[in-house]
Amino acid sequence: MKHKFYTFMGIILLLSMALAACQPAATPAPEKPAEPTKAPEAPAEPTKAPEAPAAFEGMKVEAPNCDYGGEFKSIEAVDAKTVKFTLCYPDPAFPQKVAFSVFSIQDKEYLDANGGDSVKMSDNVNGTGPYKVKEWKRGDSIIFEANPDYWGEKAKIPTLIFRWSEQSAQRLLELQSGTVDGIDNPAPEDFATIEGDANLKLYPRPALNIFYIGFNNKIKPFDDVNVRKAFAMAIDRQRIVDQFYPEGSRVADVFVPPLLKPGYSEGQKWYDYNPEEAKKLLEQAGYKDGLEVTLSFRNVVRGYLPTPDKVAQEIQAQLKEIGVNVKIEEMESAAFIDATAAGQKGFYLLGWTGDYPDATNFYDYHFANANNLQFGDLFPDVVEALKAAGQTADEAKRQQYYDTANKLIKEYVPMIPVAHGASAVAFKANFEGAHASPLGNEYFAVVSASGVDQLVWMQNGEPAVLWCSDETDGETLRACEQVYETLLAFEVGGVGVEPKLAEKYEANDDATEWVFTLREGVKFFNGATLDANDVVATFVSQWDAKDPNHKGRTTTFEYFGAFFGSFLNAE
Amino acid sequence: MSETLKPIAENNQEQYTRHSPAQEAFRRLLRHRSAQAGMIMLGILVFIAIFAEWIAPYDPIALIKTVKRREPPCVHLLGCPKDKEQHIFGIDGNSRDLFSRVIFGSRLSLQVGLATISFAIIVGGLIGAISGFLGGWVDNIIMRIMDVLMAFPSLLLAIAIVAVLGIGLINALLAIGIVSIPRFARLIRSTVLSVKELDYVQASRALGASPLHILFNRVLPNAISPLIVQGTLGIATAILDAAALSFLGLGAEKPRPEWGLMLGEERNSVFNAPHLVFFPGIAIMFTVLSFNLLGDGLRDVLDPRLRGSTRG
């Protein structure tokens, strides 16, 4: 008996010791990586101080030739305040591209110290923007405080807090009860409630997006263009927009919204809703006895798709009418995006929100991007038309190329364009300067309210990191946009491009050389002054696959690839 | 006069006719108040489930293209204009008739309850019987495994099992079945342990009956009544668990009319279309309540220690 008791006690003792051993080991672990990040930073400042007054040594990174498949030929710091980009081919949309927040400028020393690691850089955020990050309580909120040394107009409200919830009902409830001051994407059916409430104000977000039903032409049965066409005729797009989209949305006929010209083909119509014809086409394709397909989607609310699971079921029921049995597969957001981009899904719901207001942003990523396998094989003639359009500066000529591309896309049906969805943000009525941006980059530094020193914003999801060079998610980018700045920026709440870190810029006649002159007196949070080398280093960290800072979070740098083609020194 | 005499005569006769214990229990059950309520509710449910096709006015998964989605209920008797189609529970978020969906949901819920609990009773009962009857290290091992299973919160374990097996109604059923096994295993084991020491079992053994014969013909029949009670109550829990799994999107696939799924899909419209969560919620409550009332009644009736109180 006693023997047993001692064994038992012994085991308990051992277990508790093991537990005790685990715990202290776990706590210092996160501390450790934090220290080395700080350590190199401290000496970074002194090295910089004596360097600046001395002769400026400009960096220059150059591709040996343009055969590597990317847009950049060279990036050069001409002097401390001048950066010159030389391109391999004309790019009229270059200002819009560099205004996108993925290309925010970072201090070179800071970038070197962290090896370009987005996750590390999120722990100790260093930017130039109107807000600094005070604290990121993971899973709960991000607290920003106004940057007292900001070069431009300082943030009007001293404290900005980001919170998130994927439930639109919860977001609205918190707004109504006053625990948050602004929310993103209220549900369409709540628009009337918000408009009827004198304390709240709804700001409609103009549609710069597309919701489409994608096909992969390498996965059966969608390898047959007649099946894709049949589906296109069997789906009543008007009904989907009427039933599931808020006011201000419209049925899509081509892949880009009418706001984008050149790009939008006036007068081109998509296939009419015609289930009988669809049935016939299916029969011709050899599916007389019906068909089983799986429809994949992610249940994430976006401006282009306010009610994903409802729309999925609507499509399921509509296709049932032509004898197609649809199995609905709901996936986790990131897994879904990865699977479609890798070409593993044959039939799926997806959409796109414009990052910069140019048709290339919509077309090139989807239909002329060899890295993107979501539609299976690319269509060479579409690629040709889009590439030509992207490199033409003359608007009428460009539009002609896009008209050709749109006709071909209709013929090949790689996807069914369904809707350009309107969405909205809602704020308490007393907040001035509140706005909804068509690009989804609401800028909170201009928002103010009398007697209020804190603004709580609630969006759909938590940002992944706080350095966005390697990010695509709008929820993440919006947080970065409060802290970091780009050479040029979009107007607040608009799509026009205006100077930001660059005071002015000029291009040569065929849009292959772009020279930016940087603003004086811009300081990073760590005290470093902005110079041309910072700009070069930031761009090179994304462009050059061999650069030590080419790390990010996943090292895919999806936007860079989509905007500027291949990486330098890529394998 | 003759009319009043007749029942007395019958009563007298009854006193002397022998009833099997099962008949006796059933008679008591019919007289038990909460069991009566439970049985009536369950009767209605079973009726609805069997005749769903005739009761439901619409196809539960077909779109009704003439109405707006999430329209509130329209009942002609309550003043809804006659020129509008009648939808007594309103329209759901995908423009389908909610009443038809709730009606068809009863089918699924009853099937789920019965299937999972039958599975749990058969597997759990066998495990428990073997464990209790053999005793020793077999008992020890089996019961420790059951302890481990019981140590997890049942819904969480079910979610884990679904995560491994993949999403789908069948997998959800399997998960709930597995989660319910330990309860029945323990129950059977404890009754087997007490029953196997009784004299008639010893007598049977002395007469040279094989262990299997003793287990199935002597021990198990006498351990069955607590199982019936637990089973009935277990169905209620199983239906709730299945609804919870579907609510989380791990159970029934869209567009199946499953009550939990209907709740989960429309949980965001609690404020602007409350009928969409109200009716499926009521349906779940009604079903679970009916099984609970019946289970309570069964326990009162079958437990000899409580028998006195039910008579009055």
Average of per-residue pLDDT across B147-153: 91
Which residues of chain A from 214 to 253 reach within 8 Å of chain B, CB to CB?
A: 239, 243-244
In chain B, which residue's Cα lies nearest the Cα of A314? B94
Contacts of B206 (CB under 8 A, 6+ apart): none
A190 and B272 within 8 Å at the Cβ level: the answer is yes
A167 touches chain B (CB under 8 A): yes
Which residues is A84 bridged to in the sheet?
Answer: A76, A515
Q: Read off the pLDDT of residues A191-250 as tens digits, 9 standing for 90 and up.
A: 888 999 999 999 988 888 999 999 999 998 999 999 999 999 999 999 999 888 888 888
Residues A326 and A366: beta-carbon distance below 8 Å: no
**CA neighbours within 13 Å on the CB side: how many for A102?**
24
Q: Read off the pLDDT of residues A451-493 as tens digits, 9 standing for 90 and up.
A: 899 999 999 889 999 999 988 888 899 999 999 999 999 999 8
Contacts of B91 (CB under 8 A, 6+ apart): B64, B67, B68, B69, B70, B71, B97, B98
B68 and A193 within 8 Å at the Cβ level: the answer is no
Measure the CA–CA gap between B128 and A45, rounded to whole angstroms.
72
* H helix intervals, chain B: 2-16, 21-31, 33-50, 52-55, 98-134, 136-151, 154-165, 169-195, 199-206, 211-213, 224-247, 259-265, 275-302, 307-311
Cα of A314 to nearest chain B Cα, Å:
6
Q: Tell me, what's the pLDDT at A39?
A: 42
In chain B, which residue's Cα lies nearest the Cα of A311? B94
Using an 8 Å CB-CB cutoff, list chain A residues near B255. 313, 316-317, 328
Measure the CA–CA gap between B111 and B252, rounded to whole angstroms.
13
For CA atoms A354, A360, A366, A369, give the dihedral sign. Answer: negative
Average of per-residue pLDDT across A553-568: 87
- Confidence band (pLDDT; 50, 70, 90) for B12? low
Using an 8 Å CB-CB cutoff, list chain A residues near B95. 243
Cα of B269 to nearest chain A Cα, Å:
7
Q: Tell me, what's the pLDDT at A46?
A: 44
Q: What percentage of chain A has pLDDT greater than the value 70?
A: 91
Residue B19 covered by a domain: no
Q: Which long-range contacts (CB under 8 A, 24 or more apart) does B142-149 make?
A: B142/B185, B143/B185, B143/B186, B143/B189, B146/B181, B146/B182, B146/B185, B146/B186, B147/B182, B149/B178, B149/B179, B149/B181, B149/B182
Residue B177 token pair: 């079945």
Of the candidates A187, A243, A328, the beta carbon closest to that of B95 is on A243
B254 and A316 within 8 Å at the Cβ level: the answer is yes
B27 touches chain A (CB under 8 A): no
Average of per-residue pLDDT across B28-52: 93
In chain A, which residue's Cα lies nearest the Cα of B65? A239
Residues B64 and B95: beta-carbon distance below 8 Å: yes
A528 touches chain B (CB under 8 A): no
Q: Tell me, what's the pLDDT at A13?
A: 61
Q: Read off the pLDDT of residues A74-109 as tens digits, 9 standing for 90 and up.
A: 999 999 999 999 999 888 889 989 999 999 999 999
Residues A544 and A567: beta-carbon distance below 8 Å: yes
B170 touches chain A (CB under 8 A): no
Residue B304 covered by a domain: yes
Of the candidates B255, B267, B271, the beta carbon closest to that of A316 is on B255
Residue B211 covered by a domain: yes
In chain A, which residue's Cα lies nearest the Cα of B249? A330
B254 touches chain A (CB under 8 A): yes
Residue B23 covered by a domain: no
A193 and B269 within 8 Å at the Cβ level: the answer is no
A189 and B63 within 8 Å at the Cβ level: the answer is no
Cα of A169 to nearest chain B Cα, Å:
5
Measure the CA–CA gap between A414 and A367, rounded to whole angstroms.
9
Residue B71 covered by a domain: yes
Residue B3 covered by a domain: no
Q: Read off the pLDDT of residues A308-357 as tens digits, 9 standing for 90 and up.
A: 989 999 999 999 999 999 999 988 888 898 899 899 999 999 999 887 88
Measure the CA–CA gap between A504 and A510, rounded to whole angstroms.
18
A307 touches chain B (CB under 8 A): yes
Which residues of chain B from 75 to 94 reach within 8 Å of chain A, CB to CB?
A: 93-94
Average of per-residue pLDDT across B197-204: 89
A318 touches chain B (CB under 8 A): yes
Residue B178 covered by a domain: yes
pLDDT at B1 > cutoff 80: no
Phi/psi of residue B234, nearest 5 degrees: -65, -35
A243 and B270 within 8 Å at the Cβ level: the answer is no
Cα of B56 to nearest chain A Cα, Å:
19
Which residues of chain B from 263 to 292 reach within 8 Å of chain A, CB to CB?
A: 265, 267-273
Cα of A285 to nearest chain B Cα, Å:
26
Torsion of CA A364, A367, A368, A371, to 10 degrees: 100
What rounded mean pLDDT belongs to chain B? Answer: 87
A176 touches chain B (CB under 8 A): no
Kindly indicate whether the ipTM for this predicted assembly is greater than 0.90, answering yes or no: no
CATH number of the CATH domain containing B98? 1.10.3720.10
Of A19 and B120, more confident? B120
B253 touches chain A (CB under 8 A): yes
Q: Is B149 exposed, middle or buried (0-12, 13-18, 19+ CB in 10 A)?
A: middle
Of the candidates B253, B255, B270, the beta carbon closest to that of A169 is on B270
Of the candidates B93, B253, B268, the beta carbon closest to that of A328 is on B253
Mutate which: B69, B92, B256, B262, vs A, most A CBs within 10 A:
B69
Residues A390 and A159: beta-carbon distance below 8 Å: no
Of the candidates B95, B254, B268, the beta carbon closest to that of A187 is on B268
Q: Is A524 exposed, middle or buried (0-12, 13-18, 19+ CB in 10 A)?
A: buried
A60-62: strand order across its sheet = A60-62, A72-79, A82-87, A513-518, A502-507
Q: B271: domain range? A: 32-309
Domain count for chain B, please give it: 1
In chain A, which residue's Cα lies nearest the Cα of B267? A169
- Confidence band (pLDDT; 50, 70, 90) for A401? very high
Contacts of A52 (CB under 8 A, 6+ apart): A529, A531
Q: Read off the pLDDT of residues B59-110 as tens digits, 9 standing for 90 and up.
A: 998 888 888 888 889 898 888 888 888 899 999 988 899 999 999 999 999 9
Using an 8 Å CB-CB cutoff, list chain B residues near A243. 68-69, 95
Q: Is the bond leading into A221 cis (omega within 30 degrees of zero)?
A: yes
Using an 8 Å CB-CB cutoff, list chain B residues near A330. 249
Using an 8 Å CB-CB cutoff, list chain B residues near A187. 268
pLDDT at A35 > cutoff 80: no
Residue B18 covered by a domain: no
Measure the CA–CA gap between A8 and A14, rounded to whole angstroms.
10
What domains can you pick out in chain A, each with its CATH number? 79-205+423-564 (3.40.190.10), 209-420 (3.10.105.10)
Residues B257 and B102: beta-carbon distance below 8 Å: yes
